Amino acid sequence: MELNKRQEHILQIVKDNGPITGEQIADQLNLTRATLRPDLAILTMAGYLDARPRVGYFYTGKTGTQLLTENLNKIYVKDYQSIPVVVNENVSVYDAIVTMFLEDVGTLFVVDANTYLVGVLSRKDLLRASIGKQELSTLPVNIIMTRMPNITTCEKDDLLISVAKDLIHKQIDSVPVVKKTENGDMEVTGRVTKTNITKAFVALAEEE
């Protein structure tokens, strides 16, 4: 976050004199304690300062990068996951293409008769099938989908930053959020896309 001049001055005072009370900071700036209260709250919530009862404010010594890293490590998949779009493994490639366009998504998750995850369909998979000479209305998606163990998944309590790294490293657009059953099968409960990641970073910036 970008600090204003008064906040930077407060930060310097605390660096030089901490621990120091709010009243003492106000005296050095020739301001009232009430006037400084919003600035002190911002600096404390942002992590630049910490405060202890009957002790006062002190500088945490953390850089902006360290504070950003801490905040990123508090954002979980469940906070930003969206609703998944799934199709049955016996659906035709043609129907999958129609579903993808109607739902305006870049990835479809393929499930079996028990609604367990068995595959993933990307735009590239469908485009590749369309270029061939197959009859798309009779070709089932389970012929062209990506199967386990080549499917990257995540769970609701995973860190969002970890999923972002997977999207970049594996050059994929979306990851299914799954809930594992006792027998090892996976139920699709959500999805994380590049858009979800972007929303998280924008929200973090606005919060800062």
Cα torsion through 34, 36, 42, 44, rounded to 10: -90
* E-assigned strand segments in 38-131: 49-52, 56-59, 86-88, 107-111, 117-122
Q: Are 141 and 119 in contact (CB under 8 A)?
A: yes
Going residue by residue through the chain (208 aa), what tens digit of pLDDT does each one get?
Answer: 678 889 889 989 988 887 888 889 999 999 998 998 898 988 888 888 888 877 788 888 766 666 667 778 889 999 999 999 999 999 999 999 999 999 999 999 999 999 999 999 999 999 988 887 788 999 999 999 999 889 999 999 999 999 999 999 999 999 999 999 999 899 999 999 999 999 988 887 666 4
Residues 6+ apart with CB under 8 A from 119: 89, 109, 110, 141, 142, 145, 146, 147, 148, 151
Strand 117-122 to strand 146-147: parallel, antiparallel, or no bridges (unpaired)? antiparallel
Q: Are 144 and 129 in contact (CB under 8 A)?
A: yes
- Is the peptide bond between 84 and the residue preceding it cis, with omega within 30 degrees of 0? no
> Would the pTM of this model clear 0.85, i.e. be above it?
no
How far is the C-alpha of 63 from the C-alpha of 136, rounded, in Å? 55
User: What SS3 class is residue 189?
Assistant: strand
